Amino acid sequence: MATIEHGTAAGVSFALTDEQKALRDLAREFAEKEIRPKEAEYDERMQHPADVIAKAHEVGLMNLHVPEEHGGLGLSAFDGMLVGEELNRGCSGMGTSILANGLGAGPVILFGSEEQKAQWLPPLVESPILCSFGLSEPGAGSDVASLKTTAVQEGDEYVLNGSKTFITNAGYASWTVVFAKTEPKAGHRGISAFVVPMDAPGVTIEKHLDKMGQRATDTSAFALQDVRVPAENRIGEEGDGFKIAMATLDATRPGTAIGAVGVAQAAYEHSVEYAKERVTFDVPIAMHQGVSFLIADMATEIEAARLLTWQAAWMLDSALEAPPAKPSAPGGETGRLWRPGGLGRKATLYSSFAKRFAADTAMKVATDAVQVFGGYGYIKEYPVEKLMRDAKLFQIYEGTSQIQRLVIAKEIFLPKD
């Protein structure tokens, strides 16, 4: 863990406060006692970890970023990194199940009115209910502007029709922020965001998707057929949906990146332990340069990924302190996080740096861990096979590694104000 316990360079510190150390220790202990013993079974059965979610809620490891005025802890993005790594080190399926409320509730926290925050956030703190982020569709993943779900206003209501897929926790969610076209011909400028109760008439869970990895997280497809929601469930103004979605993903990408770090850390730890125990040619395989160099690279790349993710989270927290670009920004002052120039745009850039590098690192480290285990790494009896399957998803969801490269290139070459 990258910390400097005594003394820091001028202006720079990687030290954690006593409170942050206690938070990290709490998450680590929870992962060891409540997650690790169940990870293989829940993965095999593709079981929704309702019991683990309830325990995580009870000890305060859920809904970390809900503001204090709405009953939450109001923790910083950086604090969330400490929890996220440890839970995903235990099992990224269960870790995602526990932490995905951060993405689901993100649009409300960042852009919701005070009335919306008061309505939708306190119940998350009061009981272990879930919410989800309804952006992806069968024909619209990376190409968000091509989504087909529509929302037509009729008096004081909107009527929603369409389909969503690859939605984390949707099959067990109390509500979902659904992104839909209010102006179908306006491209990304025609997208709006709505809070949709999942028990509303016309909402149907079509399928719990059978995934290769992270199988202890529910990922579902659902349909909306003439679903009516009150106009006050719209977040921001009509046409704000694309900005809301992208800003939310900017804020949550470091959390996804640290999940990848947690998976990589677990693969590395298993590799070190196995390399010390497994004997070939009369010595532990750790003594063979081909193995020791693999593990040395793992350690280096994990540390780099962790530090990049910590930096991205720090930048998001720092951006929140910047003055707003304009009073009319969506969500009032919260819009200051993504103002053009300054830390706002840099936070976007560093979120993509972290997501791209950590996801690719997790995949590489997990693959190398299987190589360290040799034939045993390829069978389910040993843990690294699961970690390799889990790692792959980090290169796909919340913006593929290729999309992150597009974002990075755009930020590099975009004219600066």
Active-site residues, by number, are: 398
C-alpha to C-alpha distance for 265 and 88, rounded to whole angstroms? 9
| CA 244 to each of CA 44, 238, 240, 249: distance values in angstroms, whole numbers, following the listed order | 36, 11, 6, 9
Tell me the CB-side half-sphere exposure of residue 233, using CA atoms within 13 A: 23
C-alpha to C-alpha distance for 72 and 106, rounded to whole angstroms? 13
Residues 98 and 53: beta-carbon distance below 8 Å: yes
CA torsion through residues 69, 335, 345, 166, sign: positive
Beta strands 173-181; 130-134: pairing state: parallel
Tell me the β-bridge partners of 220: 167, 208
Residues 351 and 250: beta-carbon distance below 8 Å: yes
The residues, any chain, with a CB within 8 Å of residue 381's CB and separated by 6 or more, are none
Single-letter amino acid code for the residue at 285: I
C-alpha to C-alpha distance for 262 and 413, rounded to whole angstroms? 32
